[in-house]
Structure 1
Amino acid sequence: MASSTSKTLIDFIHPAKRLKASSFPAVSAAGGSRGLGSSSKSPPRIVTVATSKRNLAVRSEKVAKAKAEGSCCHVALNELLVEESWLKALPGELQKPYFKALSDFLERESKGPLIYPPQHLVFNALNSTPFDRVKAVIIGQDPYHGPGQAMGLSFSVPEGEKLPSSLLNIFKELQKDVGCSIPRHGDLQKWARQGVLLLNAVLTVRSKQPNSHAKKGWEQFTDAVIQSISQQKEGVVFLLWGRYAQEKSKLIDGNKHHILTAAHPSGLSAHRGFFNCRHFSQANQLLEQRGIPPIDWQL
């Protein structure tokens, strides 16, 4: 961990100019439900791409600076969440005792086996999808635990990585539901930048040890994320696949939001209710009914 005399994040970066909500162009609903929405070409997504890239640069610079300052390259957890809209939506959450205990745990873990994803991607879901842009949420359990797979977005893997079976089944359902062709890569950043929050309940994992960071504090934090969406927003579509994700429905106000449930897309359960669930077309229909641009699911 950086020493107590180290400068904070604000001390070594020049923050980008803050964009006011009123500066975003108005967006009208597209007519007719469809799988490939016009939102991929709309100005709001361009703004979100710029924000995502800026946030990634800030996080990467922070980690690089910590490495340059000494042999210990661990960065305090609360310095890795840099998206201002989430800091406002979660007031005081990063200062709570459980979060400090979680940060201390991860510092100790950093001295042992590899931890995934890399530090600068731990909060990738939140840093890539600003709070005010969230219109759908896909909940996973914990990151992939193999080398090079985890990138901080549920179900997503970087380009060049083999598609995990769950992700391949997601693509198969997309093809059948809305006609998307199956992509050659599993990088879901395009969804994140359109407002799809790809949130794992646990945001880190020890190499080759699934669920090794469960019940260390992450669940309390991500529950707070889900509750903040439920309480402060309306009309968000929650896609809950499998029993674990569906347990999170108790955190969501079903009178304000849409909850879609199905079996998990894993190879063991996809044929027991995930295939033919048509969640992707349903999500777009629900969004359009509220005048919200649909999601372009094609990668």
Structure 2
Amino acid sequence: MPPMSIPTIFTDAFAKADPSWHPVLRRALASMSPDYLAQLAQDHFLPTQNRLFAAFVLPLEQTKYVLVGEGPYPREESASGVCFMDAAVGELWCDAGLSKPVNRATSLRNFMKMLLVTAGYLDPQDTNGEAMAAAVARLRAATSIRTLPELQANLIGHGFLLLNASLVFRSNVAPAIDARAWLPFLETVLDALANVSPPPKLVLWGRIAEQLKKLKGSERFGHLVSEHPFNVSFIHHDGMKELFGPMKLLEKSR
């Protein structure tokens, strides 16, 4: 049987991934349903601008964590191809606390609040209004990051592969349905990462991402599971605070 022909709309997107991932991405796509990929290639999906594999910017062998969310933001200007990184966000802060674009991106907003609580800038019992503005004022007086690209760079610097369970968002398809179609792709990615020493830890956000625990070979990785950061309770998740606290992600990298 001749090898599967992968639509060029997907292979063209390899350009935004580190070269170490290119053969893995090709194998991962080949593991998926040809009918699904053919149909997807004819449909409108997010992210656009060849950003489908933008999460794979870190060389494969440098991956220490695989953070898996649900899917891209449902807005073209926001869907970056990178888990919870809203492409419409530049500045993180304003005088009132978090900037308006951050507040609009619910998952990012709650992640930022979790970091502020963990770093001691914000009282976990009061994460809104004046308390938020006061916390950010103290942070901005310190040597802190200012923009979302700086936060993303800090995460990548700590070895994060920032993936989604479904690499695409379509307004006419439930995220869980697309996520099921991408499971063979993710299984191939994990199979490649199993050869990294030590194997990365899986950080799974929400029920859709948690399905990765059922994939063949997933037992080779440590797992840290939480609710999706779309939920306000994420701000207080002890496991997330323990993971991200020591990384000091709000500080400028040196």
TM-score bracket, shorter-length normalisation: 0.5 to 0.7
The answer to whether residue 63 in structure 2 is matched with residue 141 in structure 1 is no
Q: Percent identity?
A: 24
2:223 match: secondary structure: strand
2:33–2:181: 8 Å Cα contact kept in structure 1?
yes
Instruction: Return the TM-score normalized by structure 1.
Output: 0.58
Q: How many residues align?
A: 207
Q: Which residue number in structure 1 is paired with residue 107 of structure 2?
A: 166
Runs of 5+ consecutive residues of structure 1 not aligned to the other structure: 1-73, 286-294
Q: Give the RMSD, CA atoms, in angstroms.
A: 3.3
The answer to whether residue 156 in structure 2 is matched with residue 193 in structure 1 is yes
2:183–2:212: 8 Å Cα contact kept in structure 1?
no
Which of 102, 106, 112 is matched with 2:40 structurally?
A: 106
The answer to whether residue 250 in structure 2 is matched with residue 298 in structure 1 is yes
Q: Which residue number in structure 2 is paired with residue 228 of structure 1?
A: 192
The answer to whether residue 175 in structure 2 is matched with residue 211 in structure 1 is yes
The answer to whether residue 180 in structure 2 is matched with residue 241 in structure 1 is no
Q: Distance in 1 between matches of 2:78 and 2:147?
A: 12
Q: Which residue number in structure 2 is paired with residue 92 of structure 1?
A: 27
After TM superposition, give the deviation of residue 247 of structure 1 in Å: 2.4
Paired amino acid for 1:172: K
C-alpha spacing 1:189/1:101, structure 2 compared with 1 (3 Å): farther
Q: Distance in 1 between matches of 2:226 and 2:52?
A: 27
Which of 52, 56, 73 is matched with 1:122 structurally?
A: 52
Q: Distance in 1 between matches of 2:84 and 2:173?
A: 17
- For 1:194-216, what per-residue CA distance to the aligned partner results, in whole angstroms no more than 9, with x for missing partners? 22111011111225865287157
Instruction: Return the TM-score normalized by structure 2.
Output: 0.67
Q: Which residue number in structure 2 is paired with residue 131 of structure 1?
A: 60
2:69–2:206: 8 Å Cα contact kept in structure 1?
no
- For 1:241-275, what per-residue CA distance to the aligned partner results, in whole angstroms no more than 9, with x for missing partners? 22222221234655x543212222223xx32x651
1:162 match: secondary structure: helix
- For 1:1-22, what per-residue CA distance to the aligned partner results, in whole angstroms no more than 9, with x for missing partners? xxxxxxxxxxxxxxxxxxxxxx
After TM superposition, give the deviation of residue 93 of structure 1 in Å: 3.3
1:214 match: secondary structure: helix
Q: Distance in 2 between matches of 1:216 and 1:239?
A: 18
2:71–2:167: 8 Å Cα contact kept in structure 1?
yes
Q: Which residue number in structure 2 is paired with residue 277 of structure 1?
A: 238
2:212–2:218: 8 Å Cα contact kept in structure 1?
no
